Structure 1
Amino acid sequence: MEILSFDSLPSTQRYLTEAIRRGEIGGPTAVIAGEQTDGIGSRDNRWEGGRGNFFASFALPEPMLPEDLPPQSASIYFAWPMREILAEQDPEVWLKWPNDLYRGEKKIGGVVTHRLQNFYVAGIGVNLKKNENSFEALETELTPMILLDMYLTRLEKAPEWKRIFRKYRLEFEKSRRFEVHVGAELKSLKNAHIMEDGSLMIDQERIVGAR
């Protein structure tokens, strides 16, 4: 995978998206920045932060991904390898449905995913050392570039969705004490049922985690 490294970017995901639209990206590509000043978070919130934290995005052509991957659960799929790496540093790290990385009760990062042309584009932000965006930090000695290398190594193995889902289904139980936004409404996950494609059934309504 080609890796593009920058000292500073407004948004790694926006940079990659615009490069794809201009026809400059033809294969798997990752973008990492030393700092991010106008990043994209969940529900179009901003994810910013200073140096020492992890700001990266990557684009994978759809044929490189497992055939059984449900598009609406791509964020779970891409977040899980990062969750495993971070949990090796701190066993309190876990993945809250569908795309937030938590340490105990506090958010430390997240994944935002969308499809563009024949690519899946995912942005990942993790507070490794500093807390400049109101969220907690992992406080690890991992550098952003080493973390990116570790992450891409796992991702390139392209595990099947069903293998990741078997693990995530157990971890989902930790999400039950939280609520999620469904449009403008907050819904409790206490009685949610997680489906094989990673979506949820809440009060007979199917909820997908596209972002």
Structure 2
Amino acid sequence: MQILEFDSLPSTQIYLATQIKSGHLKPPICVWAKKQSAGIGSRGQVWESVNEALTFSFACVMDTNTPKQSLSLYFGYLFKQTLHALGHQEVWLKWPNDLYVGEAKVGGVMSQIYKDMVICGIGLNICADQHAALAVCAKEALQAFLERIETAPKWAEVFKAYKQDFERTHSGQFFKHESGLISLSTAKMHPDGGLEIAGQVYHALR
């Protein structure tokens, strides 16, 4: 996959989505910014800048076997696997799209769909004074991840592996919903990546 490297961008996600929609760029393509001044976080919030981070977005043709609402979970799990392969076994993926080390968030994933394409952005704190971070080589992690998605497994395989992770790591966790904080201690995962809690099914909207 071709990588377009920038010293700085306001947001790799906005830049790539704009270029894809205008026809100036076509998938597969990745945009990597060494600095990001107005990154987008979960629920449209601003991703706060840190001393050093890996921030990139990529576009590829969507695999129709992967549930649309679980694209961030799918790519987030593949990124987590990449970090594990680089020796960072402590990283885990909190449902549906946050990367954690212990109880601290170190990164996140967001996805959007345009026609038959998925545009996915990933941010990972590498060095930060007031936030958790993971000391990785940005270029090495990016290249290893892009190599992984070129031969990415099917959704069913990722779902099976993530479901086992989820049952091990989420018993004391919560997620933010418009109705407030919801406990994940009794959540059951559906095959499409949704969670059933007390009879209510929740899907990721990121």
User: Residue 145 of structure 2: SS of its match in structure 1?
Assistant: helix
AA matched with 1:80: Y
Write the distance in 1 (CA, Å) between the matches of 2:177 and 2:67: 19
Partner of 2:113: 115
* Structure 1 residue 138 corresponds to structure 2 residue 101: no
User: Residue 201 of structure 2: SS of its match in structure 1?
Assistant: strand
**Mapping of 1:95-114 within 5 angstroms?**
95-114=93-112
Unaligned runs of 5+ in 1: none
Could you tell me how far 1:49 is from its partner in structure 2? 2.7
Show CA shifts across 1:160-193 (max 9, x none).
Answer: 0011111100111212311112224221111111
Write the distance in 1 (CA, Å) between the matches of 2:60 and 2:37: 24
Partner of 1:33: 33
How many residue pairs get matched? Answer: 204
User: Residue 100 of structure 2: SS of its match in structure 1?
Assistant: strand
Could you tell me how far 1:50 is from its partner in structure 2? 4.5
Write the distance in 2 (CA, Å) between the matches of 1:131 and 1:85: 21
User: Residue 175 of structure 2: SS of its match in structure 1?
Assistant: strand
Could you tell me how far 1:27 is from its partner in structure 2? 2.2
AA matched with 1:2: Q
Match of residue 193, structure 2, among 195, 198, 207 = 198
Write the distance in 1 (CA, Å) between the matches of 2:111 and 2:26: 18
Write the distance in 1 (CA, Å) between the matches of 2:185 and 2:45: 25
Unaligned runs of 5+ in 2: none
**Mapping of 1:41-120 within 5 angstroms?**
41-50=41-50, 52-62=52-62, 65=63, 67-88=64-85, 89-120=87-118
Write the distance in 1 (CA, Å) between the matches of 2:104 and 2:50: 19
Write the distance in 2 (CA, Å) between the matches of 1:83 and 1:160: 16
Could you tell me how far 1:80 is from its partner in structure 2? 1.1
* Structure 1 residue 10 corresponds to structure 2 residue 7: no
CA contact (8 A) 1:113 1:210 kept: no
RMSD of equivalent CA atoms: 1.4
Amino-acid identity (%): 39
Partner of 1:163: 157
User: Residue 168 of structure 1: SS of its match in structure 2?
Assistant: helix
Write the distance in 1 (CA, Å) between the matches of 2:110 and 2:170: 18
Write the distance in 2 (CA, Å) between the matches of 1:15 and 1:24: 11
CA contact (8 A) 1:32 1:56 kept: yes
Could you tell me how far 1:35 is from its partner in structure 2? 0.5
Write the distance in 2 (CA, Å) between the matches of 1:135 and 1:42: 16
AA matched with 2:11: S
Write the distance in 2 (CA, Å) between the matches of 1:195 and 1:26: 33
AA matched with 1:165: F
Partner of 1:186: 181
